[in-house]
């Protein structure tokens, strides 16, 4: 099943830049892992904001929650999850059911 997720990131004001940079690095690594198994499908920045829109795939909301909370930046993230149902006019035939890794084509 696929989900649309909007995440807003807010680091505490007093967090030093070095810690932020380290977190972003670990976040990128984790995102890459999640992408490699088809859980993170697409990710965009919201222009002008410390926020992003993403397409995620997971067996269900419980599995999605586990993936999201595995992100190093999760403690500083407020996320809003929108469930997605398949649309007959979707250009992508037979979307991956549960985030199993696919060729991404």
Q: How far is the CB of 19 from a second copy (least distance, A)?
A: 13
> 103 to each of 22, 31, 48, 71, 91, how far by Cα in Å?
30, 17, 32, 23, 16
Q: How far is the CB of 31 from a second copy (least distance, A)?
A: 4
In angstroms, the CA 53 to CA 29 distance is 18
3-state secondary structure of 16: coil
In angstroms, the CA 42 to CA 2 distance is 11
Task: Tell me if 88 contacts a second copy by CB under 8 A.
Answer: yes
Q: How far is the CB of 63 from a second copy (least distance, A)?
A: 8
**Residues 1-30, interacting with a second copy (CB under 8 A):** 1-5, 7, 12-13, 27-28
Positions touching a second copy (CB under 8 A) are: 1-5, 7, 12-13, 27-28, 31-32, 35, 40-49, 52-53, 55, 59-62, 64-65, 68, 77-92, 97, 103-105
């Amino acid at each position: 099943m696929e989900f649309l997720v909007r995440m807003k990131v807010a680091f505490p004001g007093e967090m030093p830049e070095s810690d932020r940079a380290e977190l972003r690095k670990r976040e990128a690594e984790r995102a890459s892992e999640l992408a490699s198994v088809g859980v993170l499908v697409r990710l965009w920045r919201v222009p002008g904001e410390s926020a992003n829109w993403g397409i995620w795939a997971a067996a269900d909301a419980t599995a999605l929650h586990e993936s999201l909370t595995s992100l190093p930046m999760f403690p500083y993230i407020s996320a809003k999850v929108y469930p997605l149902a398949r649309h007959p006019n979707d250009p992508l035939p037979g979307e991956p059911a549960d985030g199993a890794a696919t060729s991404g084509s």
